[in-house]
Amino acid sequence: METVADYFGSNVFDDRTQKAMLSTDVYQSLRRTIDEGAPLEEKVANAVALAMKDWALEKGVTHYTHWFQPLTSVTAEKHDSFIEPSPDGRVIMEFTGKNLVQAEPDASSFPSGGLRETCSARGYSVWDPTSYAFVKEKTLYIPAAFCSYTGEILDQKAPLLRSMEALSTQAKRILKLFGKNVKCVKTSVGPEQEYFLVDEEMFKARPDLVFSGRTLFGAPAPKGQELDDQYFGILPARVKEFMEDLDRELWSVGILSKTEHNEVAPAQHEMAPIYNMTNIAVDGNNMSMEIMQKVARRHGLVCLLHEKPFDGVNGSGKHNNWSMATDEGENLLSPGHDPFHTPQFMLVLTSVIEAVDTYQDLLRVSVASAGNDHRLGANEAPPAVISVYLGDELNRVVEHAMSGEEYEGHHKQSMDLGVTVLPKLKQDTTDRNRTSPFAFTGNKFEFRMVGSTANIADVNTMLNAAVAEVMKRYADELESASDLDAAIKTLVQRQLNAHKRIIFNGNGYTDEWIEEAARRGLSNYKTTPDAIPHLVDEENVKMLTDLKIFTDVELKARCTIKLEEYTKKVLIEAKTMVEMANQDILPAIENYEEELLSLAAKKQSLNRNVGAYETGLLDDLGEKVDEIYTAKCALAAKIEKVSAEVDAKAAAELVRDEILPAMDALRAPVDAAEVVMPKMEWPYPSYGDLLFGVDA
Ligand code: ADP
Ligand code: MG
C-alpha cells in the first residue's frame, strides 16, 4: 500500500530532489543562494532549469508558469508550454535558465495604485529560489516575485523577502553580542486556516454567495452555535472525505497539513499546517486556499474563505504563529528554564514588545479588509486594538525586569516539581489568552487578527520589519557598550517601561478594555478606511523605506490599492443586494401576496370568513414590501453616489458611512419577511439549510 511518506512532497522540486538531480557544484551553489542569499549564477540557473524540466516532464507536465502574488487577494499564473519547434517540423521540450529566472507578464491588468502612470505596462516576474517549485495539474509552478518594468514592486512576495532579510541582518547583530556567529536568522510561520463548507447546489442558488462570498440576507436559523457542540465535534462523512482528499493533495505539494477539526460555528472547520520558513509558509497558505476550494467542488461542496459568511455565527480568521530561529535551529523566542536570567531572551522579547507597540498601526493596517471589519471587535475575534499577552509567568518576569528587582519566581518551584518552565508557560497561556490579538504561546507569538482570506505575506512583512527596526536600534546601542550585561539590563528595563502600555493580560473582549486602551493611547481603528491611511504616516514610511522594504511611491500606491479594494468589494455586495431585491425577493413576496389575495377573494365569494391569518399576513407583507422597496432605492442611490467619487479615500469613507448602513437598512425588512413567508415561496436556501445542510 502506498503510504503518506511515499507521496509526501512527490510533486515538489524540494531539497531531496535537487540533491539527487543536480551536480554537487550546482547544488551547493543553489543552497548558498537559498540559505545565505548569495547571488544566483547564470550557469547554476541553466543547470537547475534543465533538471527541473526533466523532473517535470517525467510527471507528464506540459506547461510551466511563474506563480506570483499581485496586490489582489488571489495569486496569478500565466501558463506557457515547454514546446519549441524543431527543424524537422516536430517539437522539442525546451526550458532554459532564462525561462526559469524571469518572465514578462503584462502588468497592466493588475492593481498598481497609480504606479502604472509612472511606469510602462510591462512587468517582470522573477524566480524565488528560496521557495520550492512544484507540479500541479500538468503544470510546473515556479514561485516568483513580481515588479514593474521600472522596478517598483507590485506584489506581496518581494517585500516579504526583503523584510526577512532585514530581520536576519539585525538579529545576527544581536546574536553577535552574545558571541554567536550564525549564518542567518529566519522567521517561521504556522498559519491556522479557518473556513466554511456549504453544499454546492445551495451555494449556486444564492447570488450573494456567488458574487461576494458571504450571505447578504438571511434570517438566523433556530439553532446556531449556542450549544457549543460544534468545536472539535464529529466530522460529517462528506466533510471527512473532503479532508482526506485535501490532505492528500496538500501533502503531495509538500504542505505539512497537520490538524483538521470542526470549528466553533456550524459548518466551520480549520486546517493547521506544521510551521515552516515564512516565505514557504506564505506560499503554502496561498496554495492551500486554492486547493481547498478545488477539492471542495469534487465533493459537491463549496469552501467559503470569507471572514464573515454568515451573520450571527462566528466568522473565520487565520492565526499567524510566528517565531525566529537561527540556521542552527535555536528559537530566539524560546524562554528556556529561567527567562529572567537569560539576557538574550529578555532582549529579543523586549524588541518584539517594543516593535508591536511602536508599529501597532502597521499591524492593524496589514489585517484591514472589508471582510475582516465584520470580525474585529465583534466579540468573536480580538478587538481592533492591538495588545500583547504574555501569560502569568512571563508577565511576572517582565514586571520584575521593569522594576529592576531580582526574580527567583516560579521556575524554582516548577523545577522542584520536576516540570520545566516551558511546559508550565504553555499551560499558563493556553486557556486564558483567546481574546488577545498578539499572544505569547510558549515559544512563539500568535497574531490572531488576520482575516481568513488574507495573504499572510503582508502581516509578516510588517512584523518582520518592525522587529528588525527595533533590533537595529538595540544593536546600535549595545555594540559600543563597555559592560554588555549592564547595558542590556538597562536597555531592557528602559524599553519595557517605555512600551508597557501595549501589554495587556485581561479579557480583550470587554468594553472596559477598550476604554482603558484609549487611556493608554493605543490606536483603535474600527474600520478599514480608518486604518489604511496610517500606512503612510511619517514614522511608518521612514521605517519601511530606511529598511528598504518599500519605497515612498510604493507605499502610497499600496494605500490607494487597499482603499480601492475595500470600496470595490463593498460595492459588489451592495449591487448584489439591489439585484437580489429586484429580481427575486420583491417578486417572491408579491407573488405570495397575490396567492393570499386570490385565496381571500375565493373565500369571500363562498361567503367564508377571511381570517386573521390572511389579513394579518397581507398587512405585514405589504408593509415589508414598502420598506424593502424604499431601502433598495436608497441603496441604489448611494451606489451611484460612491461610484461617482474619484478620490480613493473619500470613496472608502462614503462606503463606510453611507453604503454599509444602507445595506443594513435593506437587510432588516428582508430578513423579517423571510421568517413569515412559507419556505417554498422563499427564493433562497435558508441559514438552516446552508449551515446544517452538509451534516445531513
Ligand atoms: P494551538 O494551541 O493554537 O492549536 P499549536 O501548538 O497546535 O497551537 O500550534 C498552532 C500552530 O503554530 C501550528 O501551525 C504550529 O505548527 C505552529 N507553531 C508551533 N511552533 C511554532 C514556532 N516555533 N514558530 C511558528 N509557528 C509554530
Ligand atoms: Mg491558535
Ligand 2 mean position, distance from CA 192 (Å): 7
Q: Give the DSSP per-residue string, 112-141.
A: -TTHHHHS-SBEEEEE-TTS--EEETTEEE
Instruction: Show the cell assigned to 473.
Output: 536600534
Per-residue model confidence as pLDDT tens digits over 499-537? 999 999 988 889 999 999 999 999 999 999 999 999 999
Given this model, what pLDDT does residue 429 score? 43
Under 8 Å CB-to-CB from 415, ≥6 apart: which residues? 337, 421
Beta strand 139-148 pairing with 63-68: parallel
With cut-offs at 50, 70 and 90, classify the pLDDT of residue 231.
low
Pocket test for ligand 1, best of 444, 447, 460 (most atoms within 8 A of CB): 444
The pLDDT of 549-563, averaged and rounded, is 95
Ligand 2 mean position, distance from CA 457 (Å): 18
Q: Is the pLDDT of residue 410 over 80?
A: no
With cut-offs at 50, 70 and 90, classify the pLDDT of residue 388.
very high
Given this model, what pLDDT does residue 121 score? 65
Given this model, what pLDDT does residue 419 score? 45
Q: Is the pLDDT of residue 129 over 60?
A: yes
Per-residue model confidence as pLDDT tens digits over 280-306? 999 999 999 999 999 999 999 999 999
Ligand at minimal distance from the CA of 382 is 2
Per-residue model confidence as pLDDT tens digits over 183-193? 999 999 999 99
Ligand 2 mean position, distance from CA 570 (Å): 29
Q: State which amino acid sits at residue 642.
A: V
With cut-offs at 50, 70 and 90, classify the pLDDT of residue 421.
very low
Given this model, what pLDDT does residue 71 score? 86
Per-residue model confidence as pLDDT tens digits over 312-357? 999 999 999 999 999 999 999 999 999 999 999 999 999 999 999 9
Ligand at minimal distance from the CA of 444 is 1
Given this model, what pLDDT does residue 233 score? 67
Given this model, what pLDDT does residue 16 score? 93
Instruction: Show the cell assigned to 383.
Output: 478587538
The rounded percent of the chain whose pLDDT value lies above 70 is: 94
Q: Whose CA is nearest to atom 19 of ligand 1?
A: 275
Ligand 1 mean position, distance from CA 190 (Å): 6
With cut-offs at 50, 70 and 90, classify the pLDDT of residue 106.
confident
Ligand 2 mean position, distance from CA 320 (Å): 8
Per-residue model confidence as pLDDT tens digits over 478-502? 999 999 999 999 999 999 999 999 9
The DSSP element (H or E) to which 556 belongs, if any, is: helix 552-580
Ligand 1 mean position, distance from CA 128 (Å): 25
Can you tell me the distance from the alpha carbon of 58 to that of 22, in angstroms, rounded to the nearest whole number? 16
Given this model, what pLDDT does residue 583 score? 98
* Atom in ligand 1 nearest the alpha carbon of residue 325: 23
Can you tell me the distance from the alpha carbon of 622 to that of 624, in angstroms, rounded to the nearest whole number? 5
Given this model, what pLDDT does residue 222 score? 83
With cut-offs at 50, 70 and 90, classify the pLDDT of residue 307.
very high
The pLDDT of 225-254, averaged and rounded, is 83
Given this model, what pLDDT does residue 423 score? 47
Can you tell me the distance from the alpha carbon of 154 to that of 237, in angstroms, rounded to the nearest whole number? 43
* Atom in ligand 1 nearest the alpha carbon of residue 331: 23
Q: At what angle do helices 278-298 and 457-478 cross, to 10 degrees?
A: 170
Q: State which amino acid sits at residue 350.
A: T
Per-residue model confidence as pLDDT tens digits over 437-468? 999 999 999 999 999 999 999 999 999 999 99
Pocket test for ligand 1, best of 194, 264, 275, 320 (most atoms within 8 A of CB): 275
Ligand 1 mean position, distance from CA 610 (Å): 65
* Atom in ligand 1 nearest the alpha carbon of residue 323: 24
Q: Is the pLDDT of residue 648 over 50?
A: yes
The pLDDT of 85-102, averaged and rounded, is 90
* Atom in ligand 1 nearest the alpha carbon of residue 273: 14
Q: State which amino acid sits at residue 47.
A: A
Ligand at minimal distance from the CA of 275 is 1
Q: Is the pLDDT of residue 137 over 80?
A: yes
300: left (phi over 0), alpha (psi -120 to 50) or beta: left
Given this model, what pLDDT does residue 452 score? 97
Beta strand 83-85 pairing with 257-262: unpaired
Ligand at minimal distance from the CA of 442 is 1
The neighbouring-strand residues paired with 85 are 91
Given this model, what pLDDT does residue 116 score? 59
Mean pLDDT check: name the lowest of 121-130, 570-579, 642-651.
Answer: 121-130
Ligand at minimal distance from the CA of 319 is 2
Q: Is the pLDDT of residue 415 over 50?
A: no
Greater confidence (428 vs 606) lies with 606
Greater confidence (393 vs 427) lies with 393
Q: Is the pLDDT of residue 5 over 90?
A: no
| Contact of 156 with 247, CB cutoff 8 Å | no
Q: Whose CA is nearest to atom 17 of ligand 1?
A: 190
Can you tell me the distance from the alpha carbon of 208 to that of 206, in angstroms, rounded to the nearest whole number? 5
User: Which residues line the pocket of ligand 1, CB cutoff 6 A?
Assistant: 188-190, 192, 272-275, 321-323, 331, 443-444
Given this model, what pLDDT does residue 435 score? 86
Mean pLDDT check: name the lowest of 49-53, 68-72, 634-638.
Answer: 68-72
The rounded percent of the chain whose pLDDT value lies above 90 is: 76
Ligand 1 mean position, distance from CA 517 (Å): 28
Given this model, what pLDDT does residue 74 score? 83
Q: Give the DSSP per-residue string, 666-679.
A: HHHHHHHHHHHS-G
* Atom in ligand 1 nearest the alpha carbon of residue 443: 23
Q: What does DSSP assign to residue 502? A: G
Ligand 1 mean position, distance from CA 282 (Å): 15
Under 8 Å CB-to-CB from 387, ≥6 apart: which residues? 436, 437, 438, 502, 503, 504, 508, 517, 522
Mean pLDDT estimate for the chain: 91
The pLDDT of 617-622, averaged and rounded, is 96
Q: Is the pLDDT of residue 564 over 80?
A: yes
Q: Give the DSSP per-residue string, 190-219.
A: EEEEEEEEEEHHHHHT-HHHHHHSS-SS-P
Greater confidence (412 vs 87) lies with 87
312: left (phi over 0), alpha (psi -120 to 50) or beta: left
Cell numbers 466568522 label which residue? Answer: 315
